[in-house]
Structure 1
Amino acid sequence: MKKSLKNILIISYSLMALLIILSLSIFFHIRTDQLFEEYAKKQQKTQIDQIISQINQLYDKETGTFDKSGIGTIGYAALQNGYIIHIQSMNGKIDWDMRTHRSEECLMILEHAEGNMKGRYPNFKGSYAEDTYTLEREGTVIGSLRIGYYGPYSLSDQELELLGALNRSLLLIEAFSLLGVIILGILIARAVTRPIDSVIEVAQKIAGGEYGVQAEAARGMSETRHMVEAVNEMSQALETEERQKKQITADVAHELRTPLTNLQSHMEAMIDGIWEPTTERLESCHGEILRLAGMVGQLQELYSLENRGRELNRAEFNFRTLCDNICHDFELSIKEKQINLIMDIKSEENLYADYSRIKQCMVNLISNSLAYTPAGGTVAIVYSSAGKGRKEIRVEDNGIGVPKEELPNLFERFYRVDKSRSKKTGGMGIGLSITRAIVEKHGGRIYAENREGGGTRFVMVLPDKEK
């Protein structure tokens, strides 16, 4: 048989069930034999007591003898039950022995009893036995009674038939129990292995590059359900990652194509003598080179942050001072668009973080808000304590906002809500990715949400100084 978890479980359940049933069967057989032995010995004692009582009643006190006809009747009845009696009176007038009257029948009875016991118990150690009892009447000894039988005990035909019926019933129950356990084992094995087979099938498809496939949801056992859920999540994550890789490749190609095309066309035109290599044209080429260098630098920086390539230089600093310096850098853009910049510092506690990295985050968030806020709009910076040793920084605006379905993707590299990728509405789509990497490297988190009155809110939650 092919070695599989299903087959192993079925065989294991069947073997365990067989072992248990065999153990119970042996126990019941032994116990049944013990009970029948106890019953047979008890019946033997009861019958002997009855024989003694009946013979005592046959004694005639006046004549000092026993009723011979009555003795014959009792003796024959006792013989039918496997007992051979011999009576002697004290005065010697009675000496009655069943073997004298029916010797052949006595022999047949004993042989039959021996055959029954040997047939049922091949190793039964039995033989002819005799017990002698004193006969008394009103305290006076009137004689002796010797009772012979096949011992130490024997079972009648009816009792052996009952015992055989019980054993056959027990075997039938055992057979049905074993069959039921095997069927139950098959059902349990299928229930256990079905989700595993589904997971194997999904894993094989994933190995073949078919991402996003889902295994059949498992029911019942929490372990298999969690396993299926984990594999499904992994498959979904791989599909998302693969889609992002393709998107990144397309976006990088798109970002690189424009400056490279411009450089190529300008340089070829100047090499072919179509254009004069004027200062303005050389500066334009230099600008495209700087743009390419900036993109490569940002990608290198993002890789370094995400792969723990750089350690943070943490220190305490005043957040209001940081914001004042940043706002001074954006002063020209704020005046041109007549933006109302609000700084709401709710906590005067210092922030424990890497100054230059947090400044980089704030520059990215503020520049993003300024880019998507119309002229005359409002940009607010809120700094407060978030409790439990955390600080919260919010940058919010009343600009055009972000479609709800786009919010989870804002921090993905090269992602931009403006699919046209116009330079007027944003950069290369790496700034927010770098911001998230910096915040997570601080042990914090960042998320974006739409404001009820319109606009977007970015929230950074950073841990406080370690105590």
Structure 2
Amino acid sequence: MSIKTKLGTLVVVSVFITTGLLLVALRTDTELRFITVFSVIASMLITQFVAHSMTAPLDEMTTVARAISHGDYTRRVVGADRRDELGDLAATINLMADDLEAVDRHRKELVANVSHELRTPIAALRAVLENVVDGVSEPDPETMRTMLKQTERLGGLVETLLDLSRVDNGVVPLRTRTFEVWPYLSGVLKEAGLAAARRPGLSSGSGAHTRKDVHLHLDVFPPGLTAHADAERLHQVVANLVDNAIRHSPQHGRVTVRARRGEAQGSLALEVLDEGPGIPEAERHRVFERFNRGSAAGGDGGTGLGLAIARWAVGLHGGEIRVAESARGCLIRVTLPGIRKSAG
């Protein structure tokens, strides 16, 4: 019932009460002043009841709106299912709170994701520079190209971080293009290997060891396979999956990255397989949640953001990422849709 209907009903009820008491007075010879007093009291009681039913929700809405203005987007107005103007207002406030909470969450996630991604190129760049300084490798053109590529990645990530409009809206536009998969993934694995060489491993015996012992294997078929995707976002996916696989691999373990053609034009099916302890079936639905490190994470120093970032980047493409069945270790399967046909 709308507020207008309630107010109209209030007026009609008050008139009926006054008329009824007046008829009673005429038939019982009751003095008019008593009838007037009773009529006023009855009207006030009914008015108080109706007013309370309207002002109580407004008080709650004021409290919730004040909490939202102070940054608490978790508060919601109870009674949004009312079938009147107050119910519509409550539903609107709850919808506004949902939108503000989503925007705030997206902003924080994007900042955390980019900050986390900064570590990989910095680690690889530092590894190359230290090798050059220590005389382990020569500053040849190939080494310099590797460092330049990492610097370019850093520049792109910083640009994303500083783009306030995209940060505030939680949106990162895709810059898709068609590229050959073999040389692309080969470069990603090379960078991952450089970063892994600087990563402390699991403690054993006298101390920590580096992950130079993990062998990275690339399997692409057919050899001339091409894909249509955002190369930078796909780099985030593969780099984080490989990083996660290396982190959980045993000594002298093997990490395999497979790439196959998908069903649609330009689509891609990727798999990353390691020989680690795997992911228990009960935890597979939670591995892509932010800051979830799982029972097998141990003390590897991970932040629990890698797989969440991979899911985020795959989701931007409209693809799918999941934990697949594997006889040994952990198998992560990624499918990207490729070229999307226009609806027109």
Task: Output the TM-score relative to the length of structure 1.
Answer: 0.41
Bigger CA radius of gyration: 1
2: distance between equivalents of 1:465 and 1:188?
52
User: Would you tell me which structure has more strand in proportion to its own residues?
Assistant: 1
- Which residue of 286, 294, 304 maps to 2:153? 294
Deviations along 1:356-385, one digit per CA (max 9) or x if unpaired, are 536776676566666638527573636236
Classify the secondary structure of the residue corresponding to 2:288: helix
Given candidates 230, 233, 236, the residue that maps to 2:95 is 230
Match of 1:200 in 2: 65
- Asked if the contact 2:227/2:267 (under 8 Å) is kept, the reply is no
Q: For 2:78, which of 204, 218, 226 is the aligned residue?
A: 218
Q: Any residues of structure 2 matched to 1:65-84 within 5 Å, and which?
A: none
CA 1:328–1:176: 2 relative to 1, 3 Å: same
Whether the 8 Å CA contact 1:195–1:228 is kept in 2: the answer is no
8 Å Cα contact 1:395/1:457 also seen in 2 = yes
Shift of 1:452: 3.6
- 8 Å contact kept, 2:262–2:335: no
Q: Does 1:396 align with 2:271?
A: yes
Q: Give the CA deviation at 1:227.
A: 3.7
What does residue 357 of structure 1 align with? 229
How many residue pairs match? The answer is 277
Stretches of structure 1 that go unaligned for 5 or more consecutive residues are 1-8, 33-158, 207-211, 270-274, 315-321, 345-353, 411-417, 440-444
- 1:408-453 Cα shifts (integer Å, max 9, x gaps): 449xxxxxxx97589xxxx9x988766554x2xxxxx234222243
Separation in structure 1 between the aligned mates of residue 313 and residue 141 of structure 2, nearest angstrom: 31
Would you say the 8 A contact 1:370–1:379 is kept in 2? no
Q: Which of residues 334, 338, 343 is equivalent to 1:458? A: 334
Distance 2:259 2:309 in 1: 23
For the residues of structure 2 that align with 1:171 and 1:456, how far apart are their CA atoms? 81
On the 8 A contact 1:364/1:431 being kept in 2, the answer is yes
Percent of pairs with identical residues? 7
Q: Aligned partners of 1:459 and 1:341: how far apart in 2? A: 16
Alignment partners' CA distance in 1, 2:220 and 2:141: 42
Aligned-partner Cα distance in 2 for 1:287–1:338:
18
Q: Deviations over 1:127-186 (max 9, x none)?
A: xxxxxxxxxxxxxxxxxxxxxxxxxxxxxxxx9962533967864663343122222123
Residue 449 of structure 1 contacts residue 457 of structure 1 at CA under 8 Å; is this kept in 2?
yes
- Label 1:247 to 1:223 Cα distance change in 2 as closer, same or farther (>3 A): same
Report the AA paired with residue 395 of structure 1.
L
User: C-alpha distance in 2, partners of 1:435/1:457?
Assistant: 11
Alpha-carbon distance between aligned partners in 2 of 1:160 and 1:360, rounded to the nearest angstrom = 87
Residues 1:407 and 2:276 aligned together = no
Q: Residues 266-285 of structure 1 correspond to what in structure 2 (within 5 A)?
A: 280=139
Asked if the contact 1:326/1:363 (under 8 Å) is kept, the reply is no
The answer as to whether partners of 2:262 and 2:268 remain within 8 angstroms in 1 is yes
**Is this contact kept in 2: 1:341–1:380, CA < 8 A?**
yes
Does residue 326 (structure 1) correspond to residue 198 (structure 2)? The answer is no
SS in 2 for 1:215: coil
User: Residues 163 and 461 of structure 1: is their aligned pair in 2 closer, same or farther, counting only changes over 3 Å?
Assistant: farther
Choose between structure 1 and 2 for higher RCO, CA contacts under 8 A separated by at least 6 residues.
2
1:214/1:235 contact within 8 Å kept: no
Aligned equivalents of 1:376 and 1:261: distance in 2? 23
Question: Match for residue 258 of structure 2?
Answer: 379
Conserved 8 A contact 2:270-2:333? yes
Q: TM-score, normalised by structure 2?
A: 0.52
Q: Taking structure 1 as reference, are residues 180 and 460 closer, same or farther at Cα in structure 2, changes over 3 Å only?
A: farther
Instruction: Measure the CA separation in 2 of the matches of 1:378 and 1:355.
Output: 15
Cα distance in 2 between the residues matched to 1:176 and 1:287: 87
Specify whether residues 391 and 161 from structure 1 end up closer, same or farther in structure 2 by C-alpha distance, changes over 3 A only: same
Quote the RMSD (CA, aligned, Å): 6.0
Distance 2:107 2:118 in 1: 16
Q: CA separation of 1:340/1:357 partners in 2, compared to 1, >3 Å: closer, same or farther?
A: closer
Q: C-alpha deviations, 1:174-228, integer Å up to 9, x for none?
A: 334312222212321233213311222212312xxxxx45325513525355345
Deviation at 1:407, TM superposition (A): 0.6
Q: Would the alpha carbon gap of residues 382 and 224 (structure 1) be closer, same or farther in structure 2, given more than 3 Å must change?
A: farther
Quick check: 2:121–2:150 contact (8 Å CA) kept in 1?
Answer: no
Q: Tell me by how many angstroms 1:244 deviates.
A: 3.5
> Partners in 1 of 2:255 and 2:107 — Cα distance?
42
